[in-house]
Amino acid sequence: MQNTLNNYIPEQAIPHVLNLLKHDNLVVKVKKERKTRHGDYRKLPNNKHQISINANLNKYRFLITLIHEIAHLEAFQKYGNLIKPHGKEWKQTFQHLMLPVLNPDVFPMQLLPLLAKHFKNPKASSDTDTQLALALKQFDEPNNKDYVFQVPLGKSFKLYNGRVFVKGQKRVKRIECIEVTTGKMYLFNPNAEVEILNE
């Protein structure tokens, strides 16, 4: 496992993560990119636990995502299966597991204040934290994509699956966008990656 981790997370975080992975019946899989999630945790019918993480994440996002998923496993084991997936028990567990790696040996200095702020009350996805998502994106491979919140009002953009939308007004957290072919309105996470169309 250590050899695999060397390819995906900062070297200084490996001892901590190896320690966190010392769970019976836990399998970690690195998968091809999934557009709708960075990773997931599942309890399998045979009582084994499976965590999967997208292979295309930069090492800082990979580390955050991996610990996010381990926090699900540990929170369910400690508090039982009736807790909310991203409720207070998971938040406390995630904070506790992240604390040892929130330092300049693991993360670049410019990320630390944003991470400290984020982990006061971690969200279900780091992508909903606009500042943190933008800061993490600078460590991604260049992909010529923009975020929905960067698309000018009334401008068209395309998703990875080819569907075209026009950006509308912002609600409290999400942005109204109209699908061009159906006229239906959808609510977008401001940090969804899209391709702005030049009309």
3-class SS letters over 59-124: HHHHHHHHHHHHHHHHHHHHHCCCCCCCCHHHHHHHHHHHHHHCCCCCCCCCCHHHHHHHCCCCCC
CATH number (2.30.30, 1.10.3470, 1.10.10, 2.40.50) of 146-196 reads 2.30.30
Lowest model confidence (mean pLDDT) among 65-69, 117-121, 127-131? 127-131
The least confident of 40-44, 59-63, 143-147, 157-161 is 143-147
Taking the domains of the chain in order of start, what are their residue ranges? 2-137, 146-196
What is residue 126's predicted lDDT score, i.e. its pLDDT? 80
Q: Please write the tens of the pLDDT for every residue from 135-176.
A: 998 898 877 788 898 899 999 999 988 999 999 999 988 899
Q: Which CATH number fits domain 2-137: 2.40.50, 3.30.2010, 3.30.310, 3.30.2310?
A: 3.30.2010
